[in-house]
Amino acid sequence: MHKDVESVLLSEKQLEKIVNLLAKKIEKDYNGKEFIMVGLLKGSVAFMADLMKKINLDFSIDFMVASSYGSGTESSGKVKVVSDLTQPVEGKDVLIVEDIVDSGNTLNFICNYLMTKGAKDVRVVTLCDKPARRKVPFKPDYVGTEIPDEFIVGYGLDYDEKYRNLPYIGILKRSVYE
């Protein structure tokens, strides 16, 4: 375990089990549909890479960068699209892949944004859901696990661009960010 991590919240084995369960649900729901899997960078990269390998369907992938965080631990609430999709979503089903739903601001904004671009349907799969921090009424369609109101890192999740490479998800020691 990394010296800045207080405890492991989700082990590699637990993450693998969550990914497999989510992949089965998505595969069932998207069977026969033309869909685009959209990863929200940078945090979703590890989760999306594992998830897409487990879904036995044809789909395309794309990425977006949307930001409402600086280097702090609180969402600013204002969302901006830093890097948009490279392919059109008009008339297509879109599955957004996210590492964590916190305030809900970013995903609420992105879902509405993609619908205005003509997406047929927009759904969200998140590895971690932290409903205690929700600022808007947003509910992901697929949730890997609900987590407590702790600052987590690893498996793509970062604090100030560090810890993304940890193979597990851990609770960051408060002394690191306070």
Average pLDDT along the chain:
93
Q: Which residues of 22-42 are buried (b: 16+ CB within 10 A; e: fewer)?
A: bbeebeeebeeeebbbbbbbe
| Amino acid 67: pLDDT | 79
Domains defined along the chain, listed by start: 5-177 (3.40.50.2020)
- pLDDT cut 90: percent of the chain above it: 83
pLDDT in tens, 19-72: 999 999 999 999 999 899 999 999 999 999 999 999 999 999 999 998 775 555
To the query of whether residue 102 is one of the catalytic residues in this protein, the response is yes
Whole-model pTM?
Answer: 0.92
- What does the pLDDT read at residue 98? 97
Question: What pLDDT, on the 0 to 100 scale, is given for residue 151?
Answer: 94
The 10s digit of each residue's pLDDT in 135-144 is: 899 999 999 9
Using pLDDT thresholds of 50, 70 and 90, give the confidence band for residue 79: confident
Q: Residue 74: is its pLDDT beyond 70?
A: no
Given a cut of 80, whether residue 100 has pLDDT beyond it is yes
H helices, E strands: number in the chain: 4, 9
Catalytic hit among 50, 93, 99, 102: 102
Token pair belonging to 32: 């026969």
What's the confidence (pLDDT) of residue 116? 96
Is residue 5 within 8 Å of residue 166, measured between CB atoms?
Answer: yes
pLDDT at residue 76 in the model:
58
How far apart are the C-alpha atoms of 23 and 25, rounded to whole Å? 6
